[in-house]
Amino acid sequence: MAVIGAPAEHPSAPETDALRGRVLEALRDAGAVATGIAGVDVLDRARRTIEGRRDVGLHDQMAFTFRNPARSSDPCRALPSARSAVVVAVAYESERGPAPGPLMAEVARYAASDTYQELRRTLRAGVQVLRDAGHRGVVVADDNALVDRAMAERAGLGWTGKNTNLLVPGVGSWVVLGSILTDVELEPAPLENRSEITRGCGGCTRCLEACPTDALVAPGVMDASRCLSWLLQRTGSFPREFRVALGVRIYGCDDCQEVCPPSRPPRGSRDATARVEAPGDAHAGDAHAGDADAGGANAGSAPAGAYVELSDLLTLDDESLLERFGAWYIPRRDPRYLRRNALVALGNAAAGSPAPGGTVRELLRRYLADEDPLLVQHAAWAARRSGQDRLLTEGPWATHPEVLAEVSRTHPTLEETLVAPAVDRETPVNGPGQR
């Protein structure tokens, strides 16, 4: 969160209209695909939703906006003099090419490049206009100071889908969100003419059906304890019942976005090139010029970072791992969790493809002999999952408690079907779902 500029005298209505236009134009030129203006009243519905879901345990160990809902639902906590919020969506590449090799792990699209750095750069362009006019600006993006989706919905950028993501007309959910809080009062954009937003998801339930772990326990309600994206970021052992479902994911999960109709552009189109403005924007419908800032690689190609070699994750030292993957949320900044996740992905990759057997066995032996019981546990699971059961009895690790425990369990390929979540599916949807 960055505070820029100093307080100014309240300008006249014509002046604020002109300023609003300049700010939005600067944001569009910097790469925003959707912009809007919102008031800064407390986000009461979002706060009640966060508190309600936290009270019934749907947040699991997650902190983020759950840590202090009173703070994250009140824009004025970040800037006490705030009178308006300028809300922005920046698109990222939604296409993914085929994996370039058999032992590759998938990275969620938003994390394949430094999308949030691009978002902050875009927001700073709007702040510069405000500062030049003598006003203050606070950049708030992905830092737990504000519920981004609720602010974006208030600003008219889109609607919160049943997969808990904000859906922007013409772009879908392949966006990251952020706001500029400012001490100048800008006219909020009306919502009456946004028929697609009003229509919302309708009767579509594709995301609920596609979730590999049934983490979407009701429309717009996420049980974090079942969400693969969150489980990859939490401490402790990766839950056994979800290891096979993890597949070769190493960071994030895009399944609920991939099946979402508003997030699936017409064949041959470039979803990241479309620009969408909230009502009241004089530039609505302008085409975005310059794909480098808004979308990344060409459609159908693999963006840099879309895949990661599992052997890299399992052979690099701590310093190298943090240097290369430090932009990711890594629990306690401890590389052991990257290795934990990589071992699960390795077991699944080797079980489902003609992976190089020698490489897999070498990596498994390395971690069966590791000093960290957590990594031994996941290596033992990966050995059985990949059909390397004999490894567990061939080395000095054969008597390790984690190895013995794994040998005594049901084979990973024969594990029972995931148990349905014990959550009331009639839970009311009072606001945006919180990861």
CB 302 within 8 A of CB 100: yes
Structure tokens at 200: 């919302």
Classify residue 159 as exposed, middle or buried by CB count within 10 Å of its CB (0-12, 13-18, 19+): buried
Query: 361 in helix, strand or coil?
Result: helix
Contacts of 266 (CB under 8 A, 6+ apart): none
| Other beta carbons less than 10 A from residue 426's beta carbon | 6
Query: 54 in helix, strand or coil?
Result: helix
Catalytic status, residue 293: no
CB 256 within 8 A of CB 211: yes
Contacts of 394 (CB under 8 A, 6+ apart): none
- CA geometry: angle 55, 224, 114, nearest 5 deg: 125
Q: Which of 17, 142, 143, 312 is catalytic?
A: 142
d(CA 224, CA 6): 40
CA torsion angle for 148, 149, 152, 157 (degrees, to 10)?
140
Contacts of 310 (CB under 8 A, 6+ apart): 103, 104, 105, 248, 250, 342, 345, 346, 349, 363
CB 346 within 8 A of CB 386: yes
CB 83 within 8 A of CB 184: yes
Quick one: which of 166, 158, 189 has its CA closest to 85?
189
Strands (E), 185-318: 216-218, 221-222, 249-251, 276-277, 307-309
Residue type, 9: E
Catalytic residue numbers, as ranges: 142
